Structure 1
């Protein structure tokens, strides 16, 4: 009964298959005929243009003694040239308009047929609306040829699968008949498509061949994995036979799509024939054979996508085995397989790197090769780390050193090869540097790793300057960055145990990182003095190294002060002491900022001064809550730290006008801002000392009134001293600032002091402020009279800004 049902089912399948193929064939024939018609139209246009050019060409001058051109010289009248009628010359005199009459057409002169080469015809004009690309537009060709084939193949496979599923669910065909039907359909597609892989139906034929080969793959898998008709050996042989046949078709007809299909089928075979047991040796041997064939084909045809398919499939299958079946007893098998696959793909990528472009050879893409070249060692390192997780760390470090040495030698050889890819040597040297850095990371602990990386980066930087290799210096900069990031994570180690700072486990790493960064800055400084300043990213290397050299020490001290509670420094003083540490750190940055053309150091100092100034201003309320014995007047930590900050701002104002790399206007503004900041900070801290000074024997309200009167006296004295300095050094900015402060003081006395203070405090405020105002006015007038009486020749030269 099943045998009788096979014939109608086979007829239905052939009908379903024949209709789409017929549609595709008619569409392809239509496109071909359309292209031919367009080419004929273009040829006709060229012929017409050539005939017109020949008609417009002047007739050649006959030789002396030759008969007139207009008379025939023999019986062959076909070679006679018809001479045009004589045309009278046109005179300049105007003539009366003649009545309209039809003018007979003038005969067209024909050029005589003379022996010799024909004149070259001009290039035909492009016809309006003509399409390029062989008569079919590029977009139309892709849509009508390539994508219709691909989409049609996919839809056809889906339709066949749904039909077969429908037939199998109703048990129309038994297991053996199903497999046989699939083999017949696949062979039919492949055999019918093989005849047209070289003709005009190349693209649709590739789609049909892909459908047939996919059907054969599915049929072989169904015979083993679904119905159990055959054992694993025959199924493996069938799948391998289909793969070999597919690859042969791809090579013969240069069909990348078929090669990709064959590669995918070969890599899916172990998955389709999985038995649920650990057969690692057989899997790895099969993958080695498949990868060798795929890589050979990819190298021969320069198919980068096939190389990527082989690498990706192998990585996935090896990773699946590693997660599912790896045990400590399988270390040798796993490590040998990983090493073998790595060497296979690394050598294939190294050999497959395209040579540089020349005048007679264009450059080939390097992306696929570079991707495999970089991904192979990365995945190998990850696999080795997973395999050697229970082994000593020195084993993985030795593997990293071997990889570093191998890539260094390969890079040197690639650089010396005249036909090598220019990017290959750089990639090899970069990988050598990466694995050398990983060797330190694997072998040493966290603290020792910072020391090792710092020393390595310094050595690479020195070698890069000695050998004039910018790549080595770039690698050194990258390793410096890694060492600094690792160092920053060490600051949370340890605790308040043992001696201050000495017992901190991060101290050796900090010293190593700080010293190496300082020596690297000196290397760049020596290079700059030798007349070879850094360019590009190296221009900012020296200031960044200086920032880290000083900043790392300040950071470690700050962290140690913040968590060390056994010092003689009371806890309320710790934030202020940390601020003093950073003020001291700003001094070398400010000193070196004079020769820094990148403006990085002066920018860092400016930001630090802003933070310290804001912290100082906002720290006064916290000090008001301390016990009186912890905040003695004037001689306390807060006021002394504030004085240091004022000195730092004053130094900033002195350094800013002589900075390099800034415009004159910018330098002047920075200097003025530094001076203003110093004056305001001094006034604020003096005012804070008056307000925070403990007054014994007075109540809270009485003490507040006394402090308010003291602020008025302080501001008046500060304004008076500022006015005197402005008059002495002839600084208009100081005199204007003194006047403004006098105005604020008078406003405070007339509003706040008169309204809220006791009589004694009002009297003191009014007398002191009024007397200082009169004295300041007297000094101001006297200074102006002295300047008016000075001879012009003895006048003191005025400073550049802010001076009368």
Structure 2
């Protein structure tokens, strides 16, 4: 029953196709008739308009002479304006092709599947044998190719896809005949697939079809997988791939088809990487070098003919250098060969020759910048590899900088996109590199593989920040500044982490309190350095305010928590007493930021900033005096508890009273109400602490001393405030009298 249904469906489809075909032919005839009528009418209108155009030119010339010079100059300026060139997205042609031909692609794919299912059904019914099955497959593929050949004149793209489907049928038939039915040997199967590839390339060149040659290349690169028996014969495989790539190069030069080279590069790179991962051999370096030459010549196609480099060409140059260096260096490291820098230097020499060619012509355009960037990156990679840095991290970091440099020079967004894709991989690779600190032992200071790799990343990240700084205005115009700001913040964080891990690694034998104290002190100075060079680094606005807040927070945490642990370790004899002096260095950036940076920035744009900086200052002064008192008074760790309690009860209220008086004085003198509020709030907190807790913990002598000292301080503060009020009042009165005298005069 199912056989009859299949036959009926085929007949129905044939009838529908015939009707559609006749209708399409009628429409084509009507369109051609309309075109001929339009051409006739246009020729007649041109003849009749000749006389009118002559009269119009005469009158227009007279009017033109009568026009004022200002109007003519405006017209000339308008004529000289050149409309900006709109850069097309490189994916647009692909999407256009898919939109126009997606039904054809799905249709040929469905047809191939239908033939396959039909053959399977015939096999299940024992209608045909193994040899007949292969024969049907070859015949069907040849028939589809013949149909494509028949349709090539009127339907070029459609015929190319049809022919590609026929070639796919031939490939799959040869594969099944070899692997499933064992109708011929591996050598015969390879010869058949090679013959299919050659025929398909000849057809694609004959039809001048880029779509067809892509089908042919995919089949050609897939053929070794189709006839593989599981035994690795890489030399034979790459001889075949090299010949295929040479054929690709010839076709690409004859027809200028970029997609052909990219298809071949992707497949070749995958094969080479798989070879290295499974079985690193010195012979693979020869094929890496051959592939490098082939694809470099392919990338320089437009440069050789027109002395120009398009965006895909530049991207190919970057990728072929990157993949070749990674593959060759990996083989050298696995086989313990030296020197590893020979190939980066060799590739750099090739680019230097091209660079000198551009320099000799005094042509400093895009090719000059591209060859310069690639040469510098290759030399940098060679130096990095010579110092035994980690391969992937170093190469990716340098290549990301190279892509950003090309974006800056050419303005093509594809390099910006590639940089955005590669930059997270650089971070991921760098994190993996940093993890080796936890297992490494006895690393030398600075000159160790982990930090040298980080140093390469730091240098490349510094160059990235410089390039991003110069493109921030463009990013703001494009409303894409968020991503650029995020990359900037992550870059600064990556530099900070690289330096911090190197410092803490070489301090790992010290107590945790000392490590934390030095780490926080380094953090304060790192942020201070960024703020010190904020104009050169283009750090401003909210980013600058965020760094100030972060410095205040880290400095407060360091002196209140970390230094407290240091004091404990000093009293416990775990650290030398001189180590306490290290944390005092953080007062230098803190005071500088409060005096120089904060007044000249937008830090006080919000009122809460006064409270934050005051809280940090109060905490730091209180803790500093507390730690100093404990170290000078306590004999050991056990006696420090009484000393700390005595300081908190007796001296802390006095310190807070003095600070509150200073805040109120500054607030009155500079007319900043927030400082007045902070001073009175601190004074109220001190009174609550004094009368609510401290009084009940003191002895009589301490109570008397505390109240007398606090009373004297409060009276002196009150007297100072009253005097300051009188001074301000007298200044206001003098100013008013001067204004009156000037008015009367």
TM range (shorter): 0.5 to 0.7
- Conserved? CA contact 1:294–1:310, under 8 Å: yes
Give the Å deviation of 1:612.
Answer: 1.4
- Give the TM-score normalised by the residue count of structure 1: 0.60
User: RMSD over aligned Cα, in angstroms?
Assistant: 6.6
- Conserved? CA contact 2:504–2:519, under 8 Å: yes
The correspondence for 2:381, drawn from 410, 417, 438, is 438
1:29 equivalent to 2:22? Answer yes
1:255 maps to 209
2:595 maps to 654
Give the Å deviation of 1:398.
Answer: 0.7
Superposition pairs of residues 506-585 of structure 1, within 5 angstroms = 506=446, 535-536=470-471, 560-561=506-507, 563-564=509-510
1:307 equivalent to 2:261? Answer yes
Question: Which one has a larger percent helix, Structure 1 or Structure 2?
Answer: 2
Query: CA 1:258/1:419 → structure 2, altered by over 3 Å: closer, same or farther?
Result: farther
1:617 maps to 560
CA distance, structure 1, for counterparts of residue 710 and residue 695 of structure 2:
13
CA distance, structure 1, for counterparts of residue 295 and residue 641 of structure 2:
84
Give the Å deviation of 1:407.
Answer: 2.2
- Conserved? CA contact 2:385–2:391, under 8 Å: no
1:177 maps to 132
1:245 equivalent to 2:199? Answer yes
Superposition pairs of residues 455-470 of structure 1, within 5 angstroms = none
1:164 equivalent to 2:119? Answer yes
CA distance, structure 1, for counterparts of residue 275 and residue 730 of structure 2:
101
Query: CA 1:433/1:186 → structure 2, altered by over 3 Å: closer, same or farther?
Result: same
CA distance, structure 2, for counterparts of residue 447 and residue 309 of structure 1:
30
1:429 maps to 372
The correspondence for 1:297, drawn from 240, 251, 264, is 251
Larger Rg: 1
Give the Å deviation of 1:778.
Answer: 4.2
1:379 maps to 323
Superposition pairs of residues 790-801 of structure 1, within 5 angstroms = none
Structure 1: 5+ residue runs without aligned partners?
1-8, 56-137, 358-362, 498-502, 528-533, 566-570, 796-804
1:505 equivalent to 2:445? Answer yes
- Conserved? CA contact 1:558–1:581, under 8 Å: no
1:410 maps to 354
Give the Å deviation of 1:342.
Answer: 2.4
- Conserved? CA contact 1:716–1:741, under 8 Å: yes
Superposition pairs of residues 57-206 of structure 1, within 5 angstroms = 146-199=101-154, 201-202=155-156, 205-206=159-160
Give the Å deviation of 1:686.
Answer: 4.0
The correspondence for 1:267, drawn from 188, 208, 221, is 221
CA distance, structure 2, for counterparts of residue 190 and residue 554 of structure 1:
65
- Conserved? CA contact 2:567–2:580, under 8 Å: no
2:83 maps to none
CA distance, structure 2, for counterparts of residue 512 and residue 192 of structure 1:
62
Give the Å deviation of 1:489.
Answer: 7.6
CA distance, structure 2, for counterparts of residue 621 and residue 282 of structure 1:
70
SS state of the match for residue 151, structure 2? coil
The correspondence for 1:346, drawn from 296, 304, 315, is 296
1:284-303 CA-to-partner distances (Å, cap 9, x unmatched) read: 33333332223322332233
2:345 maps to 401
Give the Å deviation of 1:347.
Answer: 1.1
CA distance, structure 1, for counterparts of residue 388 and residue 583 of structure 2:
42
1:681 maps to 620
- Conserved? CA contact 1:723–1:734, under 8 Å: yes
1:144-192 CA-to-partner distances (Å, cap 9, x unmatched) read: 9844443332222222222222223333333443344444444444334
- Give the TM-score normalised by the residue count of structure 2: 0.64
Query: CA 1:557/1:710 → structure 2, altered by over 3 Å: closer, same or farther?
Result: same
SS state of the match for residue 171, structure 1? coil
Query: CA 1:245/1:722 → structure 2, altered by over 3 Å: closer, same or farther?
Result: closer
Give the Å deviation of 1:622.
Answer: 4.7
SS state of the match for residue 347, structure 1? helix
CA distance, structure 1, for counterparts of residue 334 and residue 639 of structure 2:
75
1:72-115 CA-to-partner distances (Å, cap 9, x unmatched) read: xxxxxxxxxxxxxxxxxxxxxxxxxxxxxxxxxxxxxxxxxxxx
- Conserved? CA contact 1:447–1:490, under 8 Å: no
CA distance, structure 1, for counterparts of residue 176 and residue 500 of structure 2:
71
Query: CA 1:32/1:281 → structure 2, altered by over 3 Å: closer, same or farther?
Result: same
CA distance, structure 2, for counterparts of residue 210 and residue 699 of structure 1:
87
1:326-346 CA-to-partner distances (Å, cap 9, x unmatched) read: 575xx34x3333322321222
CA distance, structure 2, for counterparts of residue 493 and residue 269 of structure 1:
45
2:73 maps to none
Query: CA 1:669/1:51 → structure 2, altered by over 3 Å: closer, same or farther?
Result: same
Give the Å deviation of 1:613.
Answer: 1.3
- Conserved? CA contact 1:404–1:435, under 8 Å: yes
Number of equivalent positions = 652
CA distance, structure 2, for counterparts of residue 636 and residue 553 of structure 1:
27
Range with bigger deviation, 580-589 or 430-439 = 580-589
SS state of the match for residue 388, structure 1? helix
- Conserved? CA contact 2:201–2:216, under 8 Å: yes
Give the Å deviation of 1:611.
Answer: 0.6
- Conserved? CA contact 2:663–2:676, under 8 Å: yes
SS state of the match for residue 563, structure 1? coil
Query: CA 1:716/1:789 → structure 2, altered by over 3 Å: closer, same or farther?
Result: same
CA distance, structure 1, for counterparts of residue 639 and residue 384 of structure 2:
66
